[in-house]
Chain A
Amino acid sequence: MAARKSTKKPNVSADELKTFYRDMLLIRRFEEKAGQLYGMGLIGGFCHLYIGQEAVVVGLEAAAEEGDKRITTYRDHGHMLACGMDPNGVMAELTGREGGYSRGKGGSMHMFSKEKHFYGGHGIVGANVPLGAGLAFADKYNENGRVTFTYFGDGAANQGQVYETFNMAALWQLPVIFVIENNQYAMGTSQKRSTSSPDIYTRGEAFGIPGEAVDGMDVLAVKEAGDKAVAHCRSGKGPYILEIKTYRYRGHSMSDPAKYRTREEVQKMRDEKDAIEHVRDLLLSGNHATEDSLKAIDKEIKEIVNASAEFAKESPVPGADELWTDIYADAAPQNA
């Protein structure tokens, strides 16, 4: 099956398109700024940028309702911004400061927001998949009608625990959407070199989990597929798999020599398939926006991102006492 494309004339309002444009642009500019701060030594360790994949989270968040949950792996900045977490708090966590979501104790890969139902930010490839099914287990147990978006990559799709989870999610009809963000490279290993069958969305068939491939460079196609998956889950029919075919423009992490793919391949995707340019074209060609009104959005986003960088630089480093807090939920540090 070919990845689904949205139809030429999208059934979408101008406001919705503008929101998509704005939300995707926020992620891109935020990530560019994060890359810059990394280059300046203000962000350390691992930093996995989401540039290129913005349509995935923005399209799916448009299909979510208040109270729905989301959980992902370590390329997580885009998910956090898309679900409404504060760019200041995310950027300050990247710089390891007190104003960060985890008060500087988590870093790029480990952020959470109970308020926004964002359950991380997990650094072990594949491990967040059973966790996401567990969140859905709790929702089913509580009969609250919520669904959980469980994001992972084409690399994680080869982990054994993913299939353990597919089995139980189908067996117990858990309201979980498995979102496979297939950006074609598991770190530096192309899908061709790591995966025996290219159609990852069919991997649920053995468990009776329906799946489909979606064009992840088209935010409207992602939203449409998300609506369908959410309706399936919310009606009690159990899990659903979306394999969203996307592309990351930047390296796996900041320290990626980029020798496993050609510069031309990346440039071709940027030139021909870019998700933000796509929505920009729809806005302009549909007379939903003018160049000037889009420039105003660009300016607004730039200000938000610059403010987040300023906040992340100004926020103090965590106090040394923080070393000993949050180890246990009920107590002062113990002498263990």
Chain B
Amino acid sequence: MATEILMPALSPTMEEGTLAKWLVKEGDSVKSGDILAEIETDKATMEFEAVDEGVIGKILIDEGTEGVKVNTAIAVLLEEGESADDIESAAAPASAPEEQEAPAPKAAPAQAKAPDAPKADTSPDWPEGTEMVSTTVREALRDAMAEEMRSDEDVYLMGEEVAEYQGAYKISQGLLDEFGAKRVIDTPITEHGFAGIGVGAAFGGLRPIVEFMTWNFGMQAIDQIINSAAKTLYMSGGQMGCPIVFRGPNGAAARVGAQHSQDYAAWYAQIPGLKVVQPYSAACAKGLLKQAIRDPNPVVFLENEILYGRSFEVPKMDDFTIPFGKAKIWREGSDVTIVSFGIGMTYALEAADKLAEDGISAEVIDLRTLRPLDYDTVIASVMKTNRCVTVEEGWPVASIGNHISASLMERAFDYLDAPVINCTGKDVPMPYAANLEKLALTSVDEVLDAVRQVTYR
């Protein structure tokens, strides 16, 4: 049966074009791959090839014709043995259907809607009466990895200096001795490459823990973290999961300058497909890292060098994990809610102590995980205190505090008695000089000022 040759779309956006030149004439035999015509789009002139073999029966659009719409019949192709008389029966190949509209989703979770009443989960992280042991954040992280490596053979650790050096910040101390070189692997200094190898190993069924000596160097690997780790489950229609933990110290350390001092919390918190954790205390570091290693998704685990040596009480339990998406209220209060995470908590808690001396009762919330984020705990608190200050070391533009502020506006607007204030790092690269570095970070004084502003005291 004769078929119509249609004006092709030659780019994702082409709607019409000029039929610049015919390279065949009526009566010519063509086979697949032969150039039929040159077609001009707004971007370029392109050659248009035959798909089927046959004889050009009739040319319907003359060369030089402008504004030929995509899917217009431009010629008729005859099969072997047909004559031009058969043209009347030419059947157009089915052209693109009308845009099919799928039914609207039942619920679009991220869209604004009537504010839901918050349901804050205030259950304790461990049973009352549990024996507590003073532990540094450093030890807690090591213990978390060791426990998970003992219970799952597929878990392994790779990164720079994690094995023989025992960790650049001694987080992996003792792990090589216990688990051997097969499972505790020193890599060359090649973040982009080994992050990609880790992601591939996760596709292949292992559960890698990839340590970045710091997250600043992890920026070399950000394409693998976002494009390969975070998106593949979605792009594969759910087939190809990526259970991996990327971890290491994040944010400013001390006097290491601009390239080694950056907080990536807001960057990674934006990415659907990732989970993002930033613990403050040793107990949270342990419980959340164990949870991260078990999670079937890629987890970005943001630690802090200054907190590594700090000691906290950690529950002595056989298996202690903390679920993601559950903030922790460190201090209850009634006058203002201070929301923070990671090292920001040091400013928040110290400010709350000072505020108490002045008779201001601050509730201090540690978000702990930034994705998923525990909106309900924050909103329930602000509905009680009617005021909110956020604290983080990252830059001010598109910060976590900005996002909290926007969420409060959407879900608790009528409860706010003052604008939310975001205490953040300054909008500058980190300077080296000690005095300037101090100015570039946020501070307890800034938190105090912000609280006084929102409480009008």
Contact = CB atoms under 8 A, between A and B. Distances in A.
B11 A255 contact: yes
B212 interface: no
B49 interface: yes
A42 B236 contact: no
Contact of B95 (A40, A106, A120): A40
A69 B233 CA distance: 18
B43 A323 contact: no
Given A257-B44, A330-B295, A130 B223 contact: no
A255 B46 contact: yes
A247 interface: no
B187 interface: yes
B194 interface: yes
Interface in B272-321: 272-273, 275, 295-297
A158 interface: no
B10 interface: yes
Interface string A322-336: 011111111001111
A316 B94 CA distance: 16
A304 interface: no
Contacts of A254: 9-11
Contact of A40 (B43, B96, B195): B96
Contacts of A167: 188, 190, 193
Given A255-B46, A256-B46, A36 B235 contact: no
B196 A165 contact: yes
Task: Count chain A CB atoms within 10 A of each CB in B49, B199, B240, B371 and give the residue with the most.
Answer: B240
B220 to A, nearest CB: 9
Contacts of B54: none
A127 B296 contact: no
B11 A164 contact: no
A129 interface: yes
Interface in B37-67: 41, 43-49, 51
A152 interface: no
B149 to A, nearest CB: 13
A94 interface: no
A326 B236 CA distance: 8
A321 B375 contact: no
A250 B10 CA distance: 12
A214 B108 CA distance: 52
Nearest to B100: A317
Interface string A100-123: 111111100011111000011111
A78 B454 CA distance: 62
A102 B239 CA distance: 8
B110 interface: yes
Interface in A194-241: none
A130 B221 CA distance: 11
A38 B46 contact: no
Interface string B5-22: 010111110100000000
B373 interface: yes
A41 B272 CA distance: 30
Contacts, number: 241
Given A41-B9, A110-B236, A139-B204, A164 B193 contact: yes
B239 A112 contact: yes
Task: Count chain A CB atoms within 10 A of each CB in B44, B109, B239 and give the residue with the most.
Answer: B239
A12 interface: no
Given A127-B228, A141-B182, A167-B193, A324 B109 contact: yes
A259 interface: yes
A217 to B, nearest CB: 15
A59 B45 CA distance: 35
Interface string A25-60: 000000011011011111011100001000000000
A161 B49 CA distance: 37
B206 interface: yes
A330 B200 contact: no
B166 interface: no
B10 A255 contact: yes
Contact of A130 (B49, B105, B193, B375): B193
B35 A39 contact: no
A224 to B, nearest CB: 28
A124 interface: yes
B32 interface: yes
A3 interface: no
Contacts of B200: 71, 119, 130-138
A33 B272 contact: no
A138 B93 CA distance: 47
Given A257-B44, A327-B234, A334-B372, A130 B196 contact: yes
Given A133-B196, A165-B193, A327-B272, A258 B47 contact: yes
Given A36-B93, A168-B187, A318 B102 contact: yes
B105 A330 contact: no
B241 A329 contact: yes
B344 interface: no
Nearest to B8: A39
Contact of B105 (A33, A135, A321): A321
A9 to B, nearest CB: 30
Contacts of B203: 119, 131, 134-135, 138
B237 A168 contact: no
B428 interface: no
Contact of B238 (A35, A122, A249, A326): A326
A142 B205 contact: yes
A161 B192 contact: yes
B272 A336 contact: yes
A319 interface: yes
B346 interface: no
Given A39-B6, A42-B96, A119-B203, A105 B235 contact: yes
B246 interface: no
Given A40-B71, A134-B201, A135-B201, 6 more contacts: A39-B9, A40-B94, A255-B41, A326-B233, A326-B237, A336-B371
24 contacts: A35-B49, A39-B10, A40-B6, A101-B239, A103-B238, A104-B237, A112-B240, A120-B235, A121-B235, A130-B197, A131-B200, A134-B198, A135-B203, A137-B197, A138-B203, A165-B196, A254-B11, A258-B47, A319-B103, A320-B102, A320-B105, A321-B105, A324-B108, A329-B297
Q: Which 9 A-B pairs have the closest CB atoms?
A: A134-B200, A130-B196, A164-B193, A138-B204, A39-B8, A257-B44, A255-B11, A41-B96, A102-B237
Interface of B: 6, 8-12, 14, 32-33, 35, 41, 43-49, 51, 70-71, 93-97, 100, 102-106, 108-110, 156, 182, 187-188, 190, 192-206, 223-224, 227-228, 232-241, 243, 269, 272-273, 275, 295-297, 325, 371-373, 375
